[in-house]
Structure 1
């Protein structure tokens, strides 16, 4: 998916385990089919998972999670990523990697939610709990700054989508982005954020209710609109309304969140439309939902 991506095989992961964590080396090892874009996952037995970065620009995630997740876990309403061991470069693999506890559940799929309103309530509870965290010394969240910073990537993405999106959709997307970009950047106190609430980072149970949140490499503090992106990348219109009401989101924050969702989707679609079909499909879903939402409120 990326220039400079390291090729990761089951044989490589087995060698790393034998060399660094021999107590787990005899466990069954199976690659996890994932839409994730920066890590490769391998299930290790029934209760563990090995996560290895594909690219060098995600290397800080392991250290970030090791530092903050043990402190966040008691403060959150659902299970989150738990790092059990940190590996080091070896066996030809150049970067740090880690072993985590496997969390049960399935990844929700946009447009196919079992309980949209229940999931919306669960997500609002999680976001509310994140915002209530008061741990000192927090890092700045990835993408946690002003939403206007996304214009630098969104503008060329709009140009790059010519031929991928039809002309009417592309024109409407540009107008929607311009409208939400016009909202002033956040100037209030920063709040704790997951900062990447994409469907692939969520786990639901058989009832469709939230049971876990994973991949906290982007965590930190910043604009509260960052964690509103899930309203457009996963929820239905009805669920979105319930999510907003549960969090009591004001209009400017809501529009910053909508704009973030759209900008991220535009960039994702132009980048992944050939290499990650599921991720690209989600980007198309976001664009459709944002355009419908923008029309409804214009």
Structure 2
């Protein structure tokens, strides 16, 4: 995805640089149109290449590691999943002043779903549950640890700090006391002690594509790995209305402790995102507000 919030260490990427990289490293594609693709993401820049491809370049050093993760694992996971995922067509290398590896992917059609504007939320919930279940069913083998797969307690300090920031922003009209209670409840939930399972670990609306109301693709696997299955429950609060949320939970057979941890993880992500993105990335800030309302039962 592309950049919304300006990270302090962000690499500058423009049309001229990307054209030079593509032409120099993939001359067979040098005659194809190249156009920046708008996105609300924060870690990568994306350029549409011709009709059937997309160039994805990390904007920060942390995103460069995701490139290697996707190259290594997506070819192995793709045949085992019910939903299309990115296919790497070209492995770009640093050059022309650009410092990190980058990739060319096959273009996946579809649109990002929008919370509150889903055309078939129940079917989408079923599709999402099928994807998450398929990921969990894959044998971990030598899988890496997921970016968000560790104990919930590791998120306590940044979550409480974010709540303190939001208390100082009365214009956001956030019930921080109620949110703090939800967070404490998540921390009290029993920790995950089952076998490790594969996670996407970043199922945000911006990493999902839909067509005709159904899930058509899942993208951006840079956070994937094994860990707490609660990490893949994000769509229950960042996308699905209450009725479809229950369909999602039932289809996955989620127990109470995992559900509470999942709600806490989703809330933590939203609380941290809102003060950070509120003035620079409307999509990220808007979804964070949606999560807060959903967690408090204030929205479908």
Tell me the equivalent position of 1:148: 153
User: Which of 217, 228, 246 is the equivalent residue of 1:241?
Assistant: 246
1:191 aligns to what?
197
Q: Deviations over 1:203-250 (max 9, x none)?
A: 101x21001000001111000100001110110111101000111110
Residues 124 and 247 in structure 1, CA contact (< 8 A), matched pair in contact too: yes
Q: How does 1:193-208 map to 2 (within 5 A)?
A: 193-205=199-211, 207-208=212-213
TM-score, normalization: structure 2? Answer: 0.95
Contact 1:148 1:185 in 2 (8 A): no
Structure 1 residues 141 and 165 mapped into 2: Cα distance closer, same or farther (>3 Å)? farther
- 2:204–2:235: 8 Å Cα contact kept in structure 1? yes
Segment of structure 1 superposing worse, 160-169 or 30-39: 160-169
Residues 81/168 of structure 1: CA separation in 2 closer, same or farther (3 Å cut): closer
Q: Residues 52 and 164 of structure 1: is their aligned pair in 2 closer, same or farther, counting only changes over 3 Å?
A: farther
Q: 1:273 corresponds to which residue? A: 278
Matching of residue 114 in structure 1 with residue 119 in structure 2: yes
The answer to whether structure 1 residue 64 and structure 2 residue 72 are counterparts is: no
* Residues 251-286 of structure 1: CA deviation (Å, up to 9, x unaligned): 000000000000000011111111111110000000
Change (3 A) 1:278 1:164: farther
User: What is the CA-CA distance between 1:292 and the residue it aligns to?
Assistant: 1.1
Q: Which residue of 1 aligns with 2:139?
A: 134
Aligned equivalents of 2:100 and 2:107: distance in 1? 22
**Runs of at least 4 residues of structure 1 off by over 6 A?**
none
Aligned counterparts of 1:229 and 1:192: Cα–Cα separation in 2: 15
CA contact (8 A) 2:140 2:196 kept: no
SS of equivalent to 1:150: helix
Residue among 77, 97, 103 paired with 1:92: 97
Match of residue 210, structure 1, among 215, 218, 232: 215
CA offset digits 1:74-106 (Å, max 9, x no partner): 100010011111111111111111111100111
The whole-number CA distance in structure 1 between the counterparts of 2:196 and 2:45 is 31
Partner Cα distance (1:140, 1:150) in 2: 16
Alpha-carbon distance, 1:152 to partner: 2.1
Counterpart of 1:41 in structure 2 is 46
1:80 aligns with 2:80: no
Q: Secondary structure at the match of 1:2?
A: coil
Q: Distance in 1 between matches of 2:223 and 2:143?
A: 12
| 1:177 matches 2:183 | yes
Contact 2:202–2:223 (CA under 8 A) maintained in structure 1: yes
Secondary structure at the aligned position of 2:32 is classed as: coil
State the Cα RMSD in Å.
Answer: 1.5
Q: How far apart, CA to CA, are the structure 1 residues paired with 2:181 and 2:16?
A: 49
Q: Which runs of 5+ in 1 are unaligned?
A: none
